[in-house]
Amino acid sequence: MNCWMFPGQPLRHDQSFPAMPDGEGILSLCEAVAGFNPSAWRGDGQIESENIRLQIYGTAFSLCRSRFLKMSGQQPDLVLEHSMGIYAALAACGCISERDALEMTARVGRTLLKMSEKVRYALGCIIGLECAHVEAAAANNGVYVANYNTSSHFLLAGERSKIMSAVEECAASGAFSLSVFDCDAPLHTPLIAEVADELKNIFSDYIYIEPSVTLLDHIDHQPLTASKIPGFLLDELLLPVWWQRSYLAARNLGAKSFVEVGAGDALKKFNRWVDSENMP
């Protein structure tokens, strides 16, 4: 069974878009719906946030990669999504159009950006520490675990000053790699409730078609249906990403081949880490 994996927002925009005519179509769609070309990294001024630009870049890259794979005769039997990779995943499964995926990415990004007008937020990447220690550091400092990527790779989200304190506590507990990144909003935490009504209105603007292949959500690891999609799109911004559980669920369903349909190879690295701990 072939599984396609759609990653979330990349940290950089250092990969060139596939050199193919269809790729140009995606870039034209980006300019039409968001006023931004992620390949040339230029726009008409509508997208002022670097994070939103990276989110659009990530969705566009995944859409181009999906087109390329399908043109070469490849099709998924199962689809996994991580964080904001859900929008390109929905398009790849035929639930929404590519245009809708790009437009939704930009609209969600602009709504999340409003949160940064009041508070400075950040993400803390913690590697090499047991889950219990990371969860304790998060609770002690008023932040949240946003991504459970492997048994020892986590992402914290919250106010920047509190993230710094939580990262320091993780360092004292023995984490061997720590990093902090600024962000517009604390994705995958209850703090997103501040803009939940606006997000709900965005997701209600679209029509969703049943997925053409099985698409597992990253919360309960169950197949998404058209009726569940709007609610999941809101819930997934309020709740953590459980990547390790998603990957193991796909394995249990019979997935053998995993293709990362997007920029970078973070999900492949997570999978290798999980395999090293769970495969005989």
- Exposure string of 215-246, with b = 16+ CB inside 10 Å and e = fewer, is bbbbbbbeebeeeebbebbbbbbbbbbbbbbb
Confidence of residue 23 (pLDDT cuts 50, 70, 90): low
| 93 or 71, greater pLDDT | 93
Q: Over the stretch 231-250, which tens digit does the pLDDT of each residue have?
A: 999 999 999 999 999 999 99
- The mean predicted confidence, pLDDT, of the chain is 94
Per-residue pLDDT at 230: 97
Question: CA 160, CA 168: separation in Å to the nearest integer?
Answer: 12
Q: Tell me which residue of 21, 49, 23 sits closest to 36, measured CA to CA.
A: 49
Bridge partners of 125?
Answer: 155, 179
Question: CA 210, CA 225: separation in Å to the nearest integer?
Answer: 6
Confidence of residue 21 (pLDDT cuts 50, 70, 90): low
Per-residue pLDDT at 14: 84
Instruction: State the average pLDDT over residues 262-275.
Output: 94
Q: Over the stretch 24-50, which tens digit does the pLDDT of each residue have?
A: 689 889 999 989 989 888 877 777 799
Per-residue pLDDT at 244: 96
As given in the structure block, the two tokens for residue 124 are 């803390």
Per-residue pLDDT at 12: 86
Per-residue pLDDT at 63: 95
Per-residue pLDDT at 278: 75
Of 35-44, 90-99, 112-121, 166-175, the poorest mean pLDDT is in 35-44
Handedness of CA 109, 115, 118, 120 (dihedral sign): negative
Q: Which amino acid would we find at residue 152? A: S
Bridge partners of 144?
Answer: 157
Can you say whether residue 32 is alpha, beta or left, with left for phi > 0 and alpha for psi between -120 and 50 degrees? alpha
**pTM score of the predicted model:** 0.95
Chain length of the chain: 280
Domains of the chain: 2-115+190-278 (3.40.366.10), 118-183 (3.30.70.250)
